[in-house]
Chain A
Amino acid sequence: MWEYSEKVLDHYRNPRNVGKIDDADLIGEAGSLACGDSLKLYIKLDGEKIKDAKFLTFGCGSAVASSSILTEMIIGKTLDEVRQITNKDIADELGGLPQEKMHCSVMGQEALEDALKKYYGKDVEIGFAKSSSDKVVCTCFNVTENQIWEAIKINGLKTVEEVTNYTKAGGACGRCKGAIQDILNTYYKKQENESKLTPTQKILKIGKVIEQEISPQLQKDGGDIELVDIEGDIVKVKLIGVCSSCKNASMTLKTFVESILKTKVDSNITVEQV
């Protein structure tokens, strides 16, 4: 028996936004019947904003719950905002998923990216989405190198087993397990090189990312951010303007500021408000 969170139970029992949008502006697809789960995501736009979203899913309880919560997460948001959604966000929003079921949240992200790709065009690089040049690693479940790379990056996966849980790759005949290990090795070798920043380089990079990438976003909403101190991997910041009184401030810090610093500078960074 799986240990599903209350939220997963609620969403598979009473899935929200089930169905099809006949005049959908974007349709995203992921998975296949043969592989055991598939998702079709329908999006109706109002300019840049997602006015409505519906889904149809073939899959287990956590696949239905992931799809259902995804529609709730994207309705009312702009396309630019939903571009940032990862499988981890979907799983977190559900109050977590069993490790072996994480691939259900990945399917949600893939369907979303597939839809967005149709909007932004094929050349824009978005997370998991497959490109024609992308090499298929797992032929049983048709999982590409890029998809595995993204899953490792977003979820901090360390072992082949974890990669299988998140992407299904290696879960059938198991012949590609060596190739998955190679990808893991390459990824962590690359990361090791990156993390060889000197403390000064790191401080400079953090400052630069905050100034050039984070601050402009917050300014758009009438707020801003100020770097106060850096202690090892702890980045202390102060939110100013409307951000300082915003009730979602802690979420902004974690899901926006921290996640950008994690991907751009060092995955060990945590952000604290002072």
Chain B
Amino acid sequence: MIYLDNNATTQVDKEVLQVMLPYLETEYANPSSMYDFAKKPAEALKIAREQLRDFYGAEDVKEIFFTSCGSESANMAIKGALNCNKSKRHIITTKIEHPCVLNTYKVFEKEGYKVDYISVNSEGQLDVDELKEKVTKDTALVSVMWANNEIGVINPVEEIAEIVKSKSPDTVFFVDGVQAAGKIPIVVRDTQIDMVGVSGHKFHAPKGVGGLYVNKKCRLTPLINGGHQERGMRAGTENVPYIAGMGKAAELAKDSLSYEASEVKRLRDKLEQGILKNVFNARLNSSLINRVPNTTNIGFEYVEGELILLHLSDYGICASSGSACTSGSLEPSHVLRAMGIPFTALHGSIRFSLSRFTKEKDIDYVIEKMPVIMDKLTKISPFQDELNALRNLRK
């Protein structure tokens, strides 16, 4: 099996699993309890919080909160900030956010908030000038993802934070860091970013655990009320084994950032160039610059994405598609549509996302098989004239 869908989820690192196991087996005490038996789990939370603080480059461990996933982090940040200060009624985000942000914004839009969705260009880069124009003193919150899940494009969130704060110091700036964490540094120190959410399973921790950095100055209303856990900001007995695992995963991810930037990037570029060179109906769906090192999104013109995935799967290759058919929705990816990807390639867009566990021979195998698959699938397409024109163009 060749796993190139690491933006969907990642394999748990063996070292991470080792850190988790004691808390699933013998060290099961509630970390809030008052006996010695609870010391180890309590200590595990402390270590993990410090590991995450270091991962974020945050100043204080009090700025780190554990959640159950990336979506919860986004909900906690957005709802928490807006419910804390209801006087401002304008919020801003981008057209290419993850549904966990977009659909949370929709909730407030229905409540009467004015929402601006900022555009991207054909390479997926955010129109920062448009965003700058929209920020006013009445803007309660701005949300911009650090990196996009489908195309990997990195947004200049440090710069955007400066812009937002210079125009309106009270406006809260949340960054969905889920797809950046573990791929590029997500250092908040010396920035004006208020909050950053991450999800453990995107950087080799298991599913079911996430994190949220909240700057000390930022005020939130808790999403989950109950006990005193997370200093009253997120009630519920802490998921000790998973939190411990995410802490370790964050430490390992930070140590691997240079490997991501060099080796993972080299393999990604090799895969991308290999496919673009060998497959006549392939086109790149994102910017060449300013991307996370592990992601490429390639459109195969006049062939449908789910069909490509099924045939890739028959070769043991796992990837994903922005096509309508794969999601169960009838519309293709909102990200690719926001970029204005022509519909000839829109439905046939495939995302390959690598990790530090990806092997060179796997990449070579995909480069070898992709033209074979496409040769078969283009023969089924009703758009033979258009395909022939593309073929001739390449000659």
Taking a contact as CB atoms closer than 8 A, the residue among B311, B325, B326, B343 that contacts A33 in the complex is B343
Choose among B323, B329, B331 the residue with the greatest number of A CB atoms under 10 Å from its CB.
B331
Binary contact readout A211-237 vs B (1 if CB under 8 angstroms, 0 otherwise): 000000000000000000000000000
Binary contact readout B362-395 vs A (1 if CB under 8 angstroms, 0 otherwise): 0000000000000000011111100000000000
Choose among A15, A20, A56, A60 the residue with the greatest number of B CB atoms under 10 Å from its CB.
A60
Taking a contact as CB atoms closer than 8 A, the residue among B323, B331, B344, B382 that contacts A57 in the complex is B382
Taking a contact as CB atoms closer than 8 A, the residue among A13, A19, A58, A100 that contacts B302 in the complex is A58
A97 at interface by CB-CB < 8 Å: no
- Residues B330 and A168 in contact, CB atoms below 8 Å apart: yes
Using A60-B325, A100-B328, A172-B331 as known contacts, say yes or no to A20 and B384 having CB atoms under 8 A apart.
yes
A109 at interface by CB-CB < 8 Å: no
- Residues B384 and A64 in contact, CB atoms below 8 Å apart: no
In the bound complex, CA of A13 to CA of B307 (Å)? 9
Chain A residues positioned under 8 Å from B380 (CB to CB)? 15, 18, 56-58, 64
Number of interface residues of A (CB under 8 A): 28
Q: What band does the interface of chain B fall in when counting residues whose beta carbon is under 8 Å from A? A: 20 to 34
Taking a contact as CB atoms closer than 8 A, the residue among B303, B314, B326, B384 that contacts A13 in the complex is B314
- Residues A58 and B303 in contact, CB atoms below 8 Å apart: yes
Nearest residue, chain A, Cβ from B343:
A34
Binary contact readout B322-364 vs A (1 if CB under 8 angstroms, 0 otherwise): 0111101111100000000001100100000000000000000
- Residues B330 and A33 in contact, CB atoms below 8 Å apart: no
A253 at interface by CB-CB < 8 Å: no
- Residues A60 and B331 in contact, CB atoms below 8 Å apart: no
Chain B residues positioned under 8 Å from A34 (CB to CB)? 343
- Residues B325 and A59 in contact, CB atoms below 8 Å apart: yes
How many A-B contacts at CB < 8 Å in the complex? 71
B176 at interface by CB-CB < 8 Å: no
Chain A residues positioned under 8 Å from B311 (CB to CB)? 13
Mostly, the B contact residues are: loop
Mostly, the A contact residues are: mixed
Using A18-B379, A164-B330, A171-B329 as known contacts, say yes or no to A56 and B384 having CB atoms under 8 A apart.
yes
- Residues A58 and B304 in contact, CB atoms below 8 Å apart: yes
Give the shortest distance, in Å, between A18 (CB) and chain B (any CB). Answer: 5
Taking a contact as CB atoms closer than 8 A, the residue among A36, A61, A63, A64 that contacts B330 in the complex is A36
Nearest residue, chain B, Cβ from A173:
B331
Chain B residues positioned under 8 Å from A18 (CB to CB)? 379-380
Chain B residues positioned under 8 Å from A168 (CB to CB)? 330
**Chain A to chain B: the 8 pairs with minimum beta-carbon distance, closest first:** A171-B330, A60-B325, A60-B306, A56-B382, A40-B382, A61-B310, A36-B324, A34-B343
Q: Give residues in B with beta carbon < 8 Å to A.
A: 302-307, 310-311, 314, 323-326, 328-332, 343-344, 347, 379-384
A–B Cβ pairs within 8 angstroms, 6 of them? A40-B382, A56-B381, A57-B382, A60-B305, A60-B306, A61-B306
Given contacts A36-B330, A60-B305, A63-B304, 16 further A-B contacts (CB under 8 A): A12-B307, A36-B323, A36-B347, A39-B382, A57-B380, A58-B302, A58-B304, A58-B383, A60-B323, A61-B306, A61-B307, A61-B310, A63-B307, A100-B328, A141-B330, A172-B330
